[in-house]
């Protein structure tokens, strides 16, 4: 756990307002992306089922955020997923990717419209091209919260995402959402992965645009 500043109200001085220059390991993820090689391994009554998917993900820089002395730079994201050849939503998710330069901390927040939220954390160097974040059920800080049905029938006990920013300008992720499913003794590993190619550059954050 990071040591708290003695003055929890003091704000950092000389903050660089250009978020795109201060994203650390998130730098290679800024922009609008498309991935056509998605693979989802999901639970069904008859057993695991593999499903291909196509994904559009937008990650746009936000203005620097402060919590007293804490300084965060980040990307607001929205991912929309469909099955190949279809237009109806297969998965939708929003949230933030955050980077705290002072501590080398990465945070991902996520919300899906089935009544589930999570906040995952990891550590990395500013120039890292691979990193991993984890959220755990029951944590008071980096945890998972579900609606009563999901918690009783498909409880998420751990969420883990590994990201690789690739030399060819793409980036990839591999997610492992560990579920305890009612009636099953062993945890189920709900896996999702994709490789994303940039289709549009990011828009600078508002403060940077106004400078």
Tokens 């009612």 label which residue? 182
In this prediction the pTM is 0.96
- What kind of architecture, by CATH, is found in domain 19-209? Beta Barrel (2.40)
Is it the case that residue 42 has pLDDT exceeding 60?
yes
pLDDT digits (tens, 9 = 90+) for 51-81: 999 999 999 999 999 999 999 999 999 999 9
Please enumerate in sequence order all residues whose Cβ is within 8 A of that of 71, keeping only pairs 6 or more positions apart, or say none: 12, 15, 64, 65, 100, 101, 102
Cβ 106 vs Cβ 121: under 8 Å: yes
Cβ 99 vs Cβ 71: under 8 Å: no
Cβ 123 vs Cβ 104: under 8 Å: yes
In degrees, rounded to 5, the angle at the alpha carbon of residue 132 between the alpha carbons of residues 63 and 39 is 100
- Cα pseudo-dihedral 16, 21, 22, 27, rounded to 10: 160
Q: Where are the domains of the chain?
A: 19-209
pLDDT digits (tens, 9 = 90+) for 133-176: 999 999 999 999 999 999 999 999 999 999 999 999 999 999 99
Q: Which CA distances in Å does 29 have to 48, 149, 150, 172? A: 30, 34, 30, 10
Q: How far apart are CA 11 and CA 15, in angstroms?
A: 10
Tell me, what DSSP letter sits at residue 19?
G
pLDDT for res 3: 65
Is it the case that residue 85 has pLDDT exceeding 80?
yes
Averaged pLDDT for residues 102-118: 98
167: number of CA atoms within 13 Å, CB side?
0
pLDDT digits (tens, 9 = 90+) for 179-209: 999 999 999 999 999 999 999 999 999 999 9
């Amino acid at each position: 756990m990071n040591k708290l500043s003695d003055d929890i109200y003091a704000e950092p001085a000389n903050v660089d307002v250009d978020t795109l220059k201060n994203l650390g390991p998130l730098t290679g993820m800024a922009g609008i992306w498309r991935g056509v090689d998605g693979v989802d391994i999901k639970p069904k009554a008859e057993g695991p089922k593999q499903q291909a998917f196509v994904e559009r993900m937008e990650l746009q820089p936000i203005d620097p955020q402060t919590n007293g002395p804490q300084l965060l730079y980040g990307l607001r994201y929205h991912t929309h997923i469909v099955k190949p050849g279809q237009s109806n939503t297969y998965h939708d998710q929003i949230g933030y990717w955050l980077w705290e330069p002072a501590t080398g901390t990465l945070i991902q927040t996520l919300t899906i419209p089935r009544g589930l939220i999570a906040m995952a954390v990891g550590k990395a160097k500013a120039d890292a091209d691979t990193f991993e974040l984890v959220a755990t059920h029951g944590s008071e800080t980096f945890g998972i919260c579900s609606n009563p049905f999901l918690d009783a029938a498909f409880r998420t006990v751990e969420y883990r995402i590994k990201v690789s920013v690739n030399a060819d300008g793409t980036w990839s992720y591999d997610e492992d959402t560990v579920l305890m499913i009612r009636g099953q003794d062993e945890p189920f590993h709900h896996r999702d992965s994709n490789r994303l190619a940039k289709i549009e550059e990011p828009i600078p954050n508002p403060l940077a645009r106004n400078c």
